[in-house]
Amino acid sequence: MKTIFSQENREQLISRIEQINEDKKAEWGKMNLMQMLKHNTYWNRWILGKENHTYKQSFLGKVFGKIALKKMIKDEKPFDKNIPTSDQFKVKVSNENIESEKAEWILLINEYANFSNPAFIHDFFGKMSKEQIGILVYKHTDHHLRQFGL
């Protein structure tokens, strides 16, 4: 199973991120390129515990979260297209710099080499093991890169 905690997997993802340029268009979904980049930098800061986040599982997550997590990370199958995004991860952008956002995303991907965020609770899936987090982060990153043909 691919995980963000593998140096080889991080390097492959970073190589794909480096291929992003302003000509890339989404093959599915509602996000434009800058929204996708901002979404991913915000999401990874959340996972890594980089900002003052309050971690809390939603009620629906308490009911269905563990079942959904098992389904999403049970095998190598990529995430489905057009899966919904939690409201807290829908970002608004103005005239941002693609290159600086890519650089930020790459820095965050590299930080998984020393991951430690025992306070992390996913808003839907709840408390997760490090192994589950590693698979989820890999699949989430892969999902958004595939969204833009990478």
> What string of pLDDT tens digits covers the 150 residues of the chain?
999 999 999 999 999 999 999 999 999 998 999 999 999 999 999 999 998 888 999 999 999 999 999 999 999 999 989 887 776 677 777 667 999 999 999 999 999 999 999 999 999 999 999 999 999 999 999 999 999 999
pLDDT score for 54: 85
Q: Are 7 and 113 spatial neighbours (Cβ–Cβ below 8 Å)?
A: yes
The C-alpha torsion from 140 through 93 and 96 to 25, rounded to 10°, is 60
pLDDT score for 46: 96
Q: How far apart are CA 15 and CA 26, in angstroms?
A: 18
Q: Would you put residue 45 in left (φ > 0), alpha (ψ -120 to 50) or beta? A: alpha
Write out the two tokens for 60.
């629906």
Concatenating the DSSP letter of every residue in 83-117 gives ----GGG-----S--HHHHHHHHHHHHHHGGG---
Q: How many CB atoms lie within 10 A of CB 10?
A: 21
pLDDT score for 92: 75
H-helix or E-strand spanning residue 67:
helix 59-73
What is the end-to-end Cα distance of the chain in Å, rounded? 20
Task: Report CA 88 to chain centroid distance, whole Å.
Answer: 13
